[in-house]
Amino acid sequence: MTTSPLTAPQQHSDTPDETDVPGGEDQAQGAAELAVLQRAAGAGEAAAGWVRELAGRQGEEEHARALERVADAVVQVSGREIIPGSDGLLAEELRYTLAADVVLGASHTIGSLPELHRGERLALVAVCALAAAFPSCVLGDLERELTVLAGELACVTEAGRLATAAGDARVLPVRMPRTLGHEHGDPLDRLAYRRVAESASESFEIALHYQGGLGEEACGQALHNALAAAGPGIAPAALLRVADDPALGLEDGQWEHLHRIATELNLRVVEDLGGANGNGTTDTTQPRPA
């Protein structure tokens, strides 16, 4: 006899459903809040680290101390000042420290401005404004609002670091450009040049041979072939020189993109310039000693 579904015994799982666990929803919410609080604290620590780098660059001790106070305040308001259930208000001292006039440093006492590169001042003000807004998130949707502010603080900090890198690069001494094949150049440059020259020479001779002589047309075709063979070697060398120039202050992603293009054009030349095929001081056309 078949048991009716209406009278079938209920099946019970040994594992209680998460929604039936007393306090389960509160625990999940608590874990989410803890995660976003940790993210905010991490963003604050990173921002404070950059501000301390600015402080370390100051020639005036008063400016350095003012920026150190800003860094400490950023850590405080992105950490222990964010207390769920609090009034979300900043103490007067913190409000003063994180005010927009942070870019003036201690100018009211020593009559000069902090040493900041172009772009750093705007990033510094943005760091202070965002950090000062963190505690007020406890009055609204803490998880959503703090996630947004922490993400923006991380972006602004990165923008500040890029401005710092670019500014540092601008004050570097001008260097003469390096070209492949320069007799006093880097040995790795000479190694890469030898590879490019050998490829071009081989293409030139082959084309000249098949063109049947030294006539104007034959030489023109041979030269065309030689340039076509040399181009894929010269281009990646130029890209690497650009990518490695500190005066550009390239981001890691930009640097990697240029290196990736160079590698796709001519892997062997990239390896030569990076030292993967020897140091360029020996003739790599000869067998290496065992």
DSSP for 133-197 reads HGGGGGGS-HHHHHHHHHHHHHHHHHHHHHHHHHHHHHTSPP-PPP-TT-TTS-HHHHHHHHHHH
With respect to residue 76, please indicate whether it lies within any of the assigned structural domains.
yes
Number of compact structural domains in the chain: 2
126 plus 193 within the same structural domain:
no
Shared domain for 41 and 165, answered yes or no, is: yes
- Pair of tokens at residue 66: 């003012």
Residue 283, in any domain of the structure? no
Query: What integer pLDDT is reported at residue 7 of this predicted model?
Result: 42
If asked whether residues 77 and 192 sit together in one domain, one would say no
For the record, the structure tokens of 231 come out as 């181009």
pLDDT, position 12: 47
Do residues 211 and 163 both lie within one domain?
Answer: no
18 is a domain residue = no
The C-alpha atoms of residue 137 and residue 129 are separated, in whole angstroms, by 14
Structure confidence by residue, pLDDT tens digits, 177-220: 555 555 455 666 666 666 666 666 766 677 666 666 666 666 77
Long-range CB pairs of 211-217, under 8 A, 24+ apart, other chains included: none
Range of the domain at 145: 31-170
Same domain, yes or no: 105 and 141: yes
pTM for the whole structure: 0.58
Q: What is the pLDDT of residues 27-53, one digit of tens each?
A: 666 788 889 999 999 999 999 999 999
**Which positions of the chain have pLDDT values less than 70?**
1-29, 172-200, 202-204, 207-218, 221-232, 247, 249, 276-290
Q: Which two tokens stand for residue 174?
A: 């001008």
> Looking at 114, 142, 170, which one is the last position of a domain?
170
